[in-house]
C-alpha cells in the first residue's frame, strides 16, 4: 500500500535525543570553554609580550619620548646557552639596587613595576674604562658607535654621577648604556647588571605609526 506524500508526523512523536536540561548544560560548557580559551590565550600572550612606553631621553634619538615598543619576554627566560646577549642589543630591565639608590637620593621612588631600556655595550670578559667626561672604552678601544647624536645637556648634570675607572664585566653580567650619552644615567654610573635583571627585548616600535619600525642600531 502506497503512502501519500508528503508524510505528516506529529512533532510529539519525534524522540528527543537530549533533554532540555542536557542541552542547557552542553551550551553552558561550550560557552565556558570558549571564554576560558580566550582568557588563557591572552594570559599566555601577556607572558610572552608587552608594550613599553619610552618616558625619557636616555635612548634619544633611537627611541624618543612617547614611543611605544612591543617587547618579547620569552628569550630572557631561556638558559644561558640559548640566550646570549651581544653588543648592540637593546634590552628592557629591572633597575639594579645602585640605580634605585640614585633615584631615592634625588627624591624619587621606584616600584617593582618600573623598567628601563638601554643598549648592551659590553659582555662578560670585556674590560671597560670610563673617564670623567663619560667617554667609554671597551677592551681599550672606543665602542665604535656614536652616542652624541642627541642634544647635549647644558649643565652636564650627568658628569656629577659618573664613576670613572676600569672594570671587567663578570660572568652573567652586561654593561648597559643609553644611546644619548649626554643625559643617560646608565652603566657609567651604576656599573654592570646581572642578566637576570633583563626581562625583555624590544622588537618593534608600534607608535607613532609614522615611525613604526624595528629597533635600529647606532651609526658608527
Grid cell locating 70: 612591543
Phi, psi (rounded to 5 degrees) for 83: -140, 95
Pairwise CA distance, residues 9 & 148, whole Å: 87
Pairwise CA distance, residues 204 & 216, whole Å: 9
Terminus-to-terminus CA distance in the chain, angstroms?
A: 97
Cβ-count burial of 108 within 10 angstroms (0-12 exposed, 13-18 middle, 19+ buried)?
A: exposed
**Catalytically annotated residue among 35, 58, 109, 132:** 58
Question: Does residue 109 have an active-site annotation?
Answer: no
**Catalytically annotated residue among 118, 132, 194, 213:** 118
Question: Does residue 118 have an active-site annotation?
Answer: yes
Active site residues: 58, 118
Amino acid at each position: 500500500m502506497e503512502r501519500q506524500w508528503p508524510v505528516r508526523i506529529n512533532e510529539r512523536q519525534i524522540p528527543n535525543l537530549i533533554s532540555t536540561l542536557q542541552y542547557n548544560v552542553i551550551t553552558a560548557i561550550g560557552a565556558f570553554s570558549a571564554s576560558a580559551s580566550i582568557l588563557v590565550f591572552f594570559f599566555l600572550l601577556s607572558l610572552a609580550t608587552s608594550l613599553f612606553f619610552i618616558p625619557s631621553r636616555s635612548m634619544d634619538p633611537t627611541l624618543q619620548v612617547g614611543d611605544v615598543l612591543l617587547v618579547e619576554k620569552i628569550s630572557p627566560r631561556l638558559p644561558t646557552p640559548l640566550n646570549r646577549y651581544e653588543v648592540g642589543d637593546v634590552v628592557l630591565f629591572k633597575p639594579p639596587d645602585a640605580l634605585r639608590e640614585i633615584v631615592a637620593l634625588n627624591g624619587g621612588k621606584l616600584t617593582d613595576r618600573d623598567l628601563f631600556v638601554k643598549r648592551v655595550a659590553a659582555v662578560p670578559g670585556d674590560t671597560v674604562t670610563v673617564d670623567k667626561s663619560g667617554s667609554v672604552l671597551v677592551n681599550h678601544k672606543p665602542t665604535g658607535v656614536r652616542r652624541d647624536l642627541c642634544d647635549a645637556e647644558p649643565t652636564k648634570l650627568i658628569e656629577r654621577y659618573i664613576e670613572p675607572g676600569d672594570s671587567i664585566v663578570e660572568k652573567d653580567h652586561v654593561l648597559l648604556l643609553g644611546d644619548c650619552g649626554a643625559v643617560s644615567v646608565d652603566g657609567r654610573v651604576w656599573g654592570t647588571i646581572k642578566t637576570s635583571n633583563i626581562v625583555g627585548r624590544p622588537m618593534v616600535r608600534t607608535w607613532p605609526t609614522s615611525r613604526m619600525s624595528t629597533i635600529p642600531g647606532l651609526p658608527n
